[in-house]
Amino acid sequence: MTTAGRGALSGRRILELADASGAYAGKLFADMGADVVKIEPPGGDPARRVPPFWRGEAGDELSFAFLYANTSKRGITLDVTRPAGRELFASLARNADVVVETLPPGRLDELGIGYDALRIENPRLVLTSITPFGQTGPQRGDRGSDLVASALGGALYVTGEADDPPVVLAGSQAHLSACSFAAIASLVALRHASRSGAGQHVDISAQEAMTSVTHICGVGKWLDDGIVPKRRGSGLFASVPSGAYPCRDGLVYLMVNRPQHWKALAEWIHEETGNEEVLDPQFEGPSSRRQECRELIDFFVCELTQRFAASEVYHEGQRRHIAFTPVSTASDVARDPQLAAREFFVSLEHPSGGRLQYPGAPYRLERTPWALRHPAPRVGEHNRDVYVDELGLSEARLGRLRDDGVV
């Protein structure tokens, strides 16, 4: 467990009634000091059983994805589809600042614990809903996934080789984007509630989040330049040259957008290879001037990069103010000297034994620091703390609820 001062969100209570598509939003709150109570169904969140696993062993507390997404949270079990479960959830919501949920649109209302019902007892409550397509519109009831949001949000249209099928993005980028927007919007609503006393229902669509997260998906380029980007392998449509280029021992990634960056690159290519054609004025200026010749320019760049190791291209490129960077493996990232110098990775001791390294702070605040306060909770680890110590249930009542499958 890390040592941590008072976080920026200390004193705030967040209820997380979310599956893996919303867990990162809760993590963003928890690592900034909020008391995030993760509500799982009895038996635990299915995300606990998603590989890969720490030590290669399957188990409720060994999924890397779950361990990462649920740091600093407390954990309870509760079946909100049962009348007693809904009653307990409503009791918890009376003292909460934010509820983050990922149920299908309208499901909370069907259970009698939707926003209109909850705000009667807690007018300041912010309810943040993360769903595939949002709470309204013709697709509101459709099922979705990270892959679906990436496809319909436009990201897959520009990812992969032009003549091949689209390529799935690494990780769960659509869900992470939706969670980031959810956290930001929730904080805006929370600030409004603090000033006005009135909460809000925050509606997050994973499809809309993916569409808006980057202009590369197409909307921005169309609005700005009338261009519909298409797949160009590892390269970016609006950056010429760009992409992954081979070196003696791996790959480097390059992006050139500004005229001066191209000039610096062309001069380097000329110095190393003797290529005179690369200095032709027809290639100078913005990337749009080089679009029609990008295959020829890619050949020029490869002539340069293949002469060096990836680290050599990276450091010399940086010296010349050219945006080269190594294409790193996971092992490379774990051993990266810059991340080590910045003390980016954070180590946590786990109850099951052993320490695990985690990615560190996404932002650094001096007076209210980010911190991994403790590992992800075990299934139902804080049931007694929440139900008995905080809600005032008797041990006997908690036992009956457990026997009935409510908690």
- pLDDT tens digit sequence for 349-397: 998 788 999 999 998 898 999 999 999 999 999 999 999 999 999 999 9
Question: How many CB atoms are closer than 10 A to CB 145?
Answer: 14
* pTM: predicted TM-score of the whole model, two decimal places: 0.91
Q: How far is the C-alpha of 192 from the C-alpha of 98, rounded, in Å?
A: 12
Q: Where are the beta strands (DSSP E) in 20-77?
A: 35-40, 74-77
Place of tokens 């139902």: 380
Task: Return phi, psi of residue 267, to 5°.
Answer: -65, -40
Where do the H-state alpha helices sit in 346-394?
383
Q: Which residues pair with 15 in a beta bridge?
A: 37, 99
Cβ(133)–Cβ(207) under 8 Å? yes
Residue extent(s) of CATH 3.40.50.10540 domains in the chain: 13-213+341-403
Give dist(CA 405, CA 348) in Å, integer. Answer: 32
Going by the DSSP 8-state scheme, the letter that residue 133 receives in this structure is S
Tell me if the domain spanning 13-213+341-403 has CATH number 3.40.50.2300.
Answer: no
What is the per-residue pLDDT for 5?
Answer: 61
Beta pairing partners, 349: 355
The radius of gyration of the chain from alpha carbons, rounded to an integer in Å, stands at 25
- Give residue for tokens 């040259």: 241
User: In this predicted structure, what is the pLDDT of residue 369?
Assistant: 92
Say which residue the tokens 């799982």 belong to: 40
Residue 165's CB is within 10 A of a number of other CB atoms, namely 9
CA distance 207 to 133: 6
Nearest CA among 136, 146, 217, 138 for reference residue 179: 146
Rounded to 10 degrees, the C-alpha dihedral 66/70/72/77 comes to -100
Q: Can the peptide bond before residue 104 be classed as cis, meaning omega within 30 degrees of 0?
A: no
Answer yes or no: are the C-beta atoms of 13 and 51 closer than 8 Å: no
Please list the helix, strand and coil fractions of the chain in percent, rounded to the nearest 5, in that order.
45, 15, 45
- Indicate the residue type of 293: C
pLDDT for the residue numbered 74: 98
* pLDDT tens digits along 271-280: 999 999 999 9
Task: Report residue 375 as tokens.
Answer: 């590992």
| CA atoms of 183 and 9, how far apart (whole Å) | 12
Structure tokens of 293?
């010749």
Q: How far is Cα 134 from Cα 284, in angstroms, rounded to an integer? A: 45
> Using CA atoms, how far apart are residues 23 and 28, in angstroms rounded to an integer?
9
Q: Which residue, among 61, 59, 75, has the nearest Cα to 23 in the 3D structure?
A: 75
Which of helix, strand or coil describes residue 126? strand
**CB neighbourhood size of 309 (10 A):** 15
Cis amide bond preceding 46, omega within 30: no
Q: Pick out the chain residues at pLDDT < 70.
A: 1-5, 214-218, 225
Q: Which two tokens stand for residue 96?
A: 């909460």
Say if residues 281 and 263 touch (Cβ distance below 8 Å): no
Give me the count of residues in the chain. 407
Closest CA to 255 of 271, 238, 270, 267: 238
